[in-house]
């Protein structure tokens, strides 16, 4: 083997590994690291090398596949017809080359009619309808096998569960395999990322990943809360319906209650298709969702058939991609910015630059992992991109232009907000840093809203607008100040009558004896929702004990894991947080713990598994709790009883291994009878 071919071989192997990794990040983890353009460049390099060295081609190469195999969380679904990908064109010449190839294969000089569709930045899905009923919905996966996300797809309003035939519409085929794109609106995407920033979760890099992440929730109630939409763009096979063009097929779908994109157009030649592309470039920013190009599809189905496909994509379609909205500029400074819930985000202040018609002055660096991975430093020349998000982001540093050795940005250990100075900490396994001071001015409004809100102290009449005013007028600096607000102060505020002011003071007064769990929940300790607040209250029974609990004490409690334990401990260790609690108690707030349950089963932990037949699970749980027992979700050394019904699964094996007493439904009923 010559040196060159060894080099080529190494290069091909390197590119394949890199692409496999990026495929996985993109398709499986919904967390890509590379901008699409960089990914495409890598892909093309590999394609070119493989074309030049056919002896080094391989079936396993990423160029021969679509995406990555499913992540294994959902049952697999085989697509009857493979779900293909599209060839990309980056420039006009490539579209003309595509059109020339099409005409060469079809042996015609005549113009080809193309259906042009916006290329939606979403996730491809397949919906199978039998006798008009939705039977299964899946993701593309590796093109041959996708993931069964039927339950999640059913939550999307644009997905009809039953097809109905409008008057004049084509008859609905017995079996129909529809393909489309699940998308999220621009505003949906922005809200979702803002929430994720606040929760310290990594952001979605683009709407595609946000849609994918939402569609691949294990709990379909989560999917239901996301503003997803579906626009149909194709079929697995077009059988049992008499249409001759793709456009007619899409019209047929509309006649059955499915949505297609109203921006689709039939263009009689490649030139008109290119004009359409230009129009959509113009319209792009005003659309409610992101598009990243235009797909040209040969409109005649018979011609599509003749053109066929190459390994990865059809020969009858191409995606003419938009150019990225990028620009080069310099970083003037990197500053930490504190969000509504304390997340500290590094922001790059830039020399103002125009990107796609908008002047950009700041770019988000999202979190420290990003700063380090991209190695962005003050003075660096960088590429910024606007990508559907309110705040643009830094794509990469232009290293050749770095002057000297600028210092690295360090996250401050104290909160930069004036009058705060709380500790800034990073939780294990989390990208986000956050200020943990419950009285941090940047977080005050939202924390007070939470404290006064439902599930916590539930103070009637203390709405968002009022809280904003109280904080802005400096009448409230922490939770305890609420209890010093007077009716006289309230009437001074906008739109506040004497009567309502008096009512509010009364409801604040009434909130002074909250159940301990609601009080704990109201403090807004990270990771402590209503359920965990209940566990903490029940176990420790007063605020002092919670604030002083060690991590060891905390993880010893059934239902509390290391993450929650660390968070509660950290909250208790922050001096300002203890002061807030002390001031609340001094203001007369006395959280009350429920009396401890007594009886033989008090505090015993039961885990239920399998079907209990005559005893519905809800009923079993209710009766266990009524005698002071607890219901756990997994078997551990702390489990006192495993209640096993039919088909118990792995919990039974685990309980046997640990020697946990095992009961059947009748055994449970008998045991409960001794305590009831």
| Residues near ligand IVH (CB under 6 A) | 84-86, 117, 119-120, 124, 140, 181, 233-234, 295, 314, 317, 319
State which residue, 119 or 226, has the beta carbon closest to ligand IVH. 119
Residues with Cβ < 8 Å from 76, sequence gap 6 or more?
70, 141, 145, 146, 147, 148
CA distance 660 to 641: 6
Ramachandran assignment for 326, one of left (phi > 0), alpha (psi -120 to 50 degrees), beta (any other): beta
CB of 573 to ligand IVH, least distance (A): 48
State which residue, 12 or 295, has the beta carbon closest to ligand IVH. 295
CB of 208 to ligand IVH, least distance (A): 8
Kindly provide the b/e burial profile for residues 441-458, where b requires at least 16 CB atoms within 10 angstroms of the residue's own CB: bbbbbbbbbbbbbeebbb
State which residue, 117 or 197, has the beta carbon closest to ligand IVH. 117
State which residue, 321 or 526, has the beta carbon closest to ligand IVH. 321
State which residue, 124 or 490, has the beta carbon closest to ligand IVH. 124
DSSP 399-445: GGG--S-PPBP---SB--STTT-PBEEE-TT-S-EEE--TT-TTTHH
State which residue, 265 or 518, has the beta carbon closest to ligand IVH. 265
CB of 314 to ligand IVH, least distance (A): 5
CB of 34 to ligand IVH, least distance (A): 16
CA distance 352 to 634: 55
Output the residue with the shortest Cβ distance to ligand IVH: 124
State which residue, 43 or 409, has the beta carbon closest to ligand IVH. 43
Contact (CB, 8 A) for 171 and 403: no
CA distance 50 to 41: 14
CA distance 213 to 223: 9
Question: For every residue of 340-357, which 3-state class applies, written as one string?
Answer: CCCEEEEEEEEEEEEECC
CB of 132 to ligand IVH, least distance (A): 24
Respond yes or no: is residue 499 known to be catalytic. no
CB of 318 to ligand IVH, least distance (A): 10
> Percent helix, strand, coil in the chain (nearest 5)?
40, 20, 40
State which residue, 27 or 451, has the beta carbon closest to ligand IVH. 27
Q: Which two tokens stand for residue 598?
A: 């007594």
CB of 155 to ligand IVH, least distance (A): 20
State which residue, 86 or 470, has the beta carbon closest to ligand IVH. 86
Contact (CB, 8 A) for 152 and 220: yes
Q: Which two tokens stand for residue 395?
A: 């794509």
Phi, psi angle pair for 366, to nearest 5°: 65, -65
CB of 30 to ligand IVH, least distance (A): 14
CA neighbor of 51 nearest in space, from 96, 7, 8: 8
CB of 306 to ligand IVH, least distance (A): 15
Q: Which two tokens stand for residue 628?
A: 């002071």
Residue 201 gets which letter from DSSP? Answer: P
Active-site residue (options: 119, 297, 630, 651): 119
Dihedral angle over CA of 584, 586, 591, 595, nearest 10: 160
Q: Which two tokens stand for residue 504?
A: 């509010």
CA neighbor of 570 nearest in space, from 502, 523, 508: 523
CA neighbor of 31 nearest in space, from 260, 209, 298, 166: 209
Catalytic residue set = 119
């Amino acid at each position: 083997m010559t040196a060159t071919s060894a080099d080529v071989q190494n290069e091909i192997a390197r590119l394949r590994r890199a692409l496999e990794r990026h495929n996985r990040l993109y398709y499986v983890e919904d967390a890509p690291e590379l901008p699409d353009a960089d990914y495409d460049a890598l892909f093309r390099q590999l394609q070119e090398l493989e074309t030049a060295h056919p002896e080094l081609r391989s079936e396993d190469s990423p160029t021969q596949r679509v995406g990555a195999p499913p992540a294994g969380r959902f049952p697999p679904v085989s697509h009857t017809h493979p779900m293909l990908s599209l060839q990309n064109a980056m420039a006009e010449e490539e579209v003309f080359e595509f059109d020339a190839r099409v005409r060469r294969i079809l042996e015609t000089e005549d113009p080809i009619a193309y259906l042009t569709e916006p290329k939606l930045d979403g996730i491809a899905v397949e919906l199978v309808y039998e006798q008009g009923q939705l039977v299964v919905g899946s993701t593309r996966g590796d093109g041959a096998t996708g993931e069964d996300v039927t339950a999640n797809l059913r939550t999307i309003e644009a997905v009809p569960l039953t097809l109905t035939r409008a008057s004049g519409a084509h008859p609905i085929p017995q079996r129909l395999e529809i393909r489309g794109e699940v998308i999220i609106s621009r505003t949906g995407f922005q809200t979702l990322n803002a929430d994720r920033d606040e929760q310290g979760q990594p952001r979605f890099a683009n709407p595609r990943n946000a849609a994918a992440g939402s569609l691949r929730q294990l709990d379909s109630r989560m999917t239901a809360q996301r503003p997803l939409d579906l626009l149909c763009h194709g079929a697995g096979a077009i059988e049992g319906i008499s249409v001759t063009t793709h456009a007619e097929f899409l019209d047929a779908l509309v006649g059955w209650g499915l949505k297609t994109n109203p921006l689709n157009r039939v263009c009689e030649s490649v030139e008109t298709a290119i004009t359409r592309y230009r129009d959509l470039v113009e319209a792009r920013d005003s659309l409610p969702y992101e598009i990243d190009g235009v797909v040209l599809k040969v409109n005649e189905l018979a011609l599509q058939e003749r053109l066929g496909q190459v390994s990865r994509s059809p020969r009858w379609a191409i995606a003419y991609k938009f150019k990225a909205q990028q620009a080069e500029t310099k970083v003037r400074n990197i500053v930490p910015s504190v969000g509504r819930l304390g997340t500290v985000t590094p922001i790059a202040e830039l020399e103002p630059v125009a990107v796609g018609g908008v002047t950009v002055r700041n770019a988000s660096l999202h979190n420290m992992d990003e700063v380090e991975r991209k190695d962005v430093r003050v003075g660096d020349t960088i590429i910024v991109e606007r990508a559907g998000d309110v705040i643009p982001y830094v794509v990469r540093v232009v290293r050749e232009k770095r002057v000297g050795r600028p210092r690295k940005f360090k996250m401050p250990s104290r909160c930069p907000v004036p009058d705060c100075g709380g500790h800034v900490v990073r939780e294990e396994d989390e990208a986000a840093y956050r200020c943990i001071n419950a009285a941090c001015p940047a977080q005050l409004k939202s924390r007070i809203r939470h404290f006064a809100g439902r599930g916590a102290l539930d103070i009637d009449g203390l709405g968002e607008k009022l809280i904003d005013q109280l904080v802005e007028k400096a009448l409230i600096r922490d939770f305890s100040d609420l209890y010093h607000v007077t009716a006289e102060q309230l009437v001074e505020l906008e739109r506040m009558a004497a009567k309502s002011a008096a009512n509010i003071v009364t409801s604040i007064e009434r909130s002074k004896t909250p159940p301990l769990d609601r009080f704990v929940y109201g403090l807004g300790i990270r990771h402590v929702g209503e359920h965990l607040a209940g566990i903490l209250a029940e176990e420790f029974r007063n605020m002092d004990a919670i604030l002083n609990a060690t991590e060891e004490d905390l993880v010893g409690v059934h239902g509390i894991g290391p993450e929650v334990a660390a968070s509660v401990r950290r909250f208790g260790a922050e001096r300002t947080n203890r002061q807030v609690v002390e001031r609340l108690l001094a203001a007369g707030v006395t959280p009350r713990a429920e009396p401890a349950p007594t009886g033989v089963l008090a505090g015993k932990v039961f885990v239920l598994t399998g079907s209990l037949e005559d005893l519905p699970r809800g009923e079993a749980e209710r009766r266990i709790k009524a005698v002071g027992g607890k219901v756990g979700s997994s078997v551990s050394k702390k489990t006192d009883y495993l209640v096993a019904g039919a088909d118990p699964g792995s919990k039974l094996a685990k309980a046997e291994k640990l020697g946990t007493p095992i009961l059947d439904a009748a055994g449970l009923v008998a045991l409960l009878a001794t305590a009831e």
